[in-house]
Amino acid sequence: MTFRTIHTLEARGNILLEIVKDRSGAGDPAMRRLIWRAADELTHILSQRGVRYAELNSALVPQIDKVEIALLFDRTSIESAAYGWQAHARVLPLLNSTSSHSILHGDLNDEAAPDDDWIRTALQIHLQPSGNPFQLVGDNQIFCVYLNNISVHLRRKLNDALKDYRPYIGYIDTTYASQFKAYLSQTLVPAYLKHGRIILQSHPDDEPPPENENMLGYQFEDAGLVCRSVPNSYYGLLLSYKIERPVLSGDEADTRFSANVISDTPADPASYDLEIDKAKFDYLKDKKTGTLRRLGVLGSPKATLEQLLYAKLHSNYIYNLAYSDQLAVGKFNIVLELAPLDGGQPLRALAALKHLPGTRCIRLITFLG
């Protein structure tokens, strides 16, 4: 039984697949084949750049044993028009030479904020201040560098080292769901993907630039890094990290195309019935006693856990999209944030689910948390 896997598919802010489907009139089976062909082509391109697509998983999908962080910088304290590189140049040398991260960035502005004073209030609630002098006086004043797949130790190292840099105003832990994290998902854009000492960026589709094109123009070589690039259509669709957020109005295309990767009859996974077979439930009761107790479902019937997990299916996107051509079976993962009875930090759990062909059912394969 062979499954191929696409780590993540970005159709939230990328309308490429919508354009192709609308203009070609392609049906769902044809779109599934097109997406997989693009993934195969990207895998080949990456191999020519010395990168294995399979090794990018930790940079492209949420990791339940790692944290995410938004590092914030005061643009007005950076004495350079190239303030973006000035911030990145401080961060990159602090990262492990073998680690992989998706890095997004952008100016915080009011466009996706509920009101003009929302950012100020969000900072008061979420910011872990650096201690450097800072006063918010205008829009677009704060530049954000967002990193995923960060250990708690690296988070501490980043914050401690950056405190000596005057423009650094502090960080916000974005591991767990919040209105601010959802705001960042609509505000920031992918900058690059760091994989070991390789920086992966995109380059225009309509040109055949060298494989080491550096569209950002940042001086990555100063940090001992080398640039590699792939065409934008592949990068935007298959190498862009999606900051977690609930499925919002307008995200329906992203949900549908992600489901299309693993099915010729795609539908929102939240519209399916979720089931846990008895053997799996008995295994969870035996091996995940502590987790089930924290969630308040230990000793409850199987339907209680099914309802709890089902209620969370619409609260995030799906990833690790796997498909078997031989079996016509699709699988996917989703990260669920569940509220424990003790009122502590949310429990982040990974649920692996399988679509049962010919039905509107999905079945739990694995539950890690």
Domain ranges of the chain: 58-233, 267-368
> Which tens digits make up the pLDDT trace of 113-143?
888 799 999 999 999 999 999 999 988 999 9
DSSP for 115-168 reads: STTHHHHHHHHH-EE-SS-----STT-EEEEEEEEE-HHHHHHHHHHHTTSTTE
Q: What is the pLDDT of residue 255?
A: 92
CB 228 within 8 A of CB 51: yes
Confidence label for 315 from pLDDT (cuts 50, 70 and 90): confident
CA-CA distance, 61 to 350, in Å (whole number)? 11
CA 298 vs CA 273, 282, 286: distances in Å: 22, 11, 10
Confidence label for 310 from pLDDT (cuts 50, 70 and 90): confident
- In which residue are the tokens 């250990």 written? 151
Cross-strand partners of 351: 334, 367
CA-CA distance, 103 to 162, in Å (whole number)? 17
Architecture of the domain delimited by 267-368: 2-Layer Sandwich (3.30)
**Residues sharing a CB contact under 8 Å with residue 73, sequence separation 6 or more, in sequence order:** 83, 87, 142, 143, 144, 145, 167, 168, 169
The structure's pTM equals 0.94
Q: What is the pLDDT of residue 1?
A: 60
Q: What is the pLDDT of residue 209?
A: 61
**Residues sharing a CB contact under 8 Å with residue 49, sequence separation 6 or more, in sequence order:** 198, 200, 211, 228, 230
> Which tens digits make up the pLDDT trace of 326-342?
988 999 999 999 888 88
Cα-based torsion angle of the residue sequence 130, 133, 138, 141 in order, rounded to the nearest 10 degrees: -50
Least trusted range by pLDDT, from 53-67, 97-111, 192-206, 293-307: 293-307
What are the structure tokens assigned to 118, written together?
A: 């929302």
**Residues sharing a CB contact under 8 Å with residue 153, sequence separation 6 or more, in sequence order:** none
* φ, ψ dihedrals at 149, nearest 5°: 55, 45
CA 147 vs CA 60, 95, 184, 210, 292: distances in Å: 11, 10, 12, 27, 31
CA angle 14, 58, 353 (to 5 degrees): 80
What are the structure tokens assigned to 304, written together?
A: 């209680």
Q: Which amino acid is at 43?
A: T
Residue 59, helix vs strand vs coil: helix
Residue 234, helix vs strand vs coil: helix
